[in-house]
């Protein structure tokens, strides 16, 4: 194996190993030197939700070493690993607090810039069109300018935490407002990068559309959890931390499946099942809240109201299977149309077989059904001829 090829195959996994070691080291340091404002176990679970980034980056960079896309994910995993354990490490060595503020801010801005390119270059590793070059330039130049601002302003949450050369007084306040505006602009740039996947989806071919569908599925799941969290509908505990980490790990997993094209065409069925069970869970939860609300207005005794709630819950659970089947059919009609049409074609052919006796019509129907359900490149029907008797 040539030296360059060997290094291209080994380097991604070296970066992956370094990233995972940094995540483990950060968790260990947070345990040894806990932050009173941080829950150690939940922060560790959230951090390890990023572990998939390094693994997927190594997989893509190994399989496609000439594409920049896998190396982007490797860089995201490495920078996050470096910034994750920075504060507990500084508590260990007794470093000045302003170092954590400056290094953490630079790491955060670097991650924003890299995530913009993760969205913009997905899945081909190239820009959607040359017209996006100016925005890519902004995504590089703007964080560099904000790096300088971080060096010159104190931590907004802890005004006493500032670099020795930081500005003071009115100059610091003005620069802080400018930096906040720049950060808002950076978030806007990242959001436009997310929208670029929609633009690419509209212009993509069938395979690239399936790739983007995997990515958008993971993004929608994470967006739904984020909205529920902001709305205060999710509790802050280990269960939610685990759910959030698992949901975020879907993003690199979906990217890996899409870029490497592993079982690419199962996304419609996955989306269909997700929408079905999410809708069913929401419906059951809504019925439960409605029953509880009605009972609270009726003013029933505590024991009888509990019995009514339990009875309604059992009734809803008994009907859940039938509701799920009908809901699944309706969702498949919208999100998994190919499977829905295939099932209808098979049922229609089976119904015709009950009354059909003409062999040519049966062969034609069989051929049409196979084309509709499997979509093969070529179809041929072989019919065995009538057997001859020994005397014939």
Q: pLDDT (tens digit, 9 = 90+) per residue, 5-45?
A: 566 678 888 998 999 998 888 888 888 877 776 777 777 88
CA distances to 62, 78, 321, 354 from 67, in Å? 10, 18, 47, 56
Determine the pLDDT at residue 167: 77
The distance of Cα 211 from the centroid of its chain, to the nearest Å, equals 13
CA distance linking residue 324 with residue 322, whole number of Å: 5
Determine the pLDDT at residue 149: 85
Determine the pLDDT at residue 390: 46
Class of 3-274 in CATH: mainly alpha
Give the relative orientation of helices 3-32 and 68-84 as an angle to the nearest 10 degrees.
20
**Domain map of the chain by residue range?**
3-274, 279-335, 341-374
- Block means of pLDDT (10 residues each) for the chain, 392 residues, are 61 90 86 75 79 88 86 91 83 80 87 90 85 92 89 76 76 86 91 86 79 81 74 70 80 82 62 66 70 63 61 67 67 56 62 62 64 59 58 46
Considering the entire predicted model, what is its pTM? Answer: 0.68
Determine the pLDDT at residue 348: 66
CA distance linking residue 306 with residue 40, whole number of Å: 38
Reported as half-sphere exposure (CB side, CA atoms, 13 A), residue 54 has a value of: 23
Which is nearest to 72 in space by CA: 28, 124, 20? 124
Query: pLDDT by residue (tens digit) across 136-147?
Result: 999 999 999 998
CA distance linking residue 254 with residue 162, whole number of Å: 40
């Amino acid at each position: 194996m040539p030296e360059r090829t060997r290094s291209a195959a080994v380097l991604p996994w070296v970066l992956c190993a370094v990233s995972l070691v940094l995540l483990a080291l950060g968790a260990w340091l947070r345990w040894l030197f806990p932050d009173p404002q941080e829950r150690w176990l939940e922060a560790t679970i959230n951090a390890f939700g990023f572990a998939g980034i390094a693994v997927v980056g190594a997989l893509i960079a190994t399989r496609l070493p000439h594409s920049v896309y896998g190396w982007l994910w490797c860089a995201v995993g490495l920078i996050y690993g470096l910034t994750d354990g920075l504060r507990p490490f500084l508590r260990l060595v007794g470093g000045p607090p302003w170092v954590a503020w400056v290094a953490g801010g630079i790491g955060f801005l670097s991650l924003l810039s890299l995530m913009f390119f993760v969205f913009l270059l997905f899945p081909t590793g190239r820009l959607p069109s040359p017209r996006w070059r100016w925005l890519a330039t902004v995504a590089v130049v703007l964080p560099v300018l904000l790096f300088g601002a971080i060096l010159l302003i104190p931590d907004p949450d802890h005004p006493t935490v500032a670099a020795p050369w930081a500005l003071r007084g009115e100059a610091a306040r003005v620069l802080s407002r400018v930096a906040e505006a720049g950060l808002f602009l950076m978030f806007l740039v990242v959001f436009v990068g997310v929208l670029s996947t929609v633009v690419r989806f509209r212009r993509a071919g069938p395979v690239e559309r399936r790739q983007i569908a995997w990515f958008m599925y993971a993004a929608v799941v994470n967006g739904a959890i984020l909205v529920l969290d902001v709305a205060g509908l999710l509790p802050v505990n280990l269960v939610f931390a685990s759910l959030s980490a698992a949901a975020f790990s879907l993003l690199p997993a979906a990217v890996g499946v899409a870029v490497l094209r592993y079982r690419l065409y199962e996304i419609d069925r996955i989306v269909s099942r997700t929408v079905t069970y999410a809708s069913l869970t929401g419906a059951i939860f809504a019925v439960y809240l409605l029953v509880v609300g009605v009972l609270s207005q009726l003013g029933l005794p505590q024991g009888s109201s509990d019995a009514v709630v339990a009875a309604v819950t059992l009734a809803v659970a008994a009907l859940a299977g039938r509701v799920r089947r009908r809901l699944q059919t309706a969702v498949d009609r919208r999100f998994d149309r190919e499977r829905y049409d295939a099932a209808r074609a098979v049922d229609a052919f089976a119904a015709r077989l009950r009354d059909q006796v003409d062999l040519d019509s049966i062969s034609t129907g069989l051929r049409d059904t196979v084309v509709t359900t499997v979509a093969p490149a070529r179809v041929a029907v072989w019919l065995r001829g009538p057997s001859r008797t020994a005397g014939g």
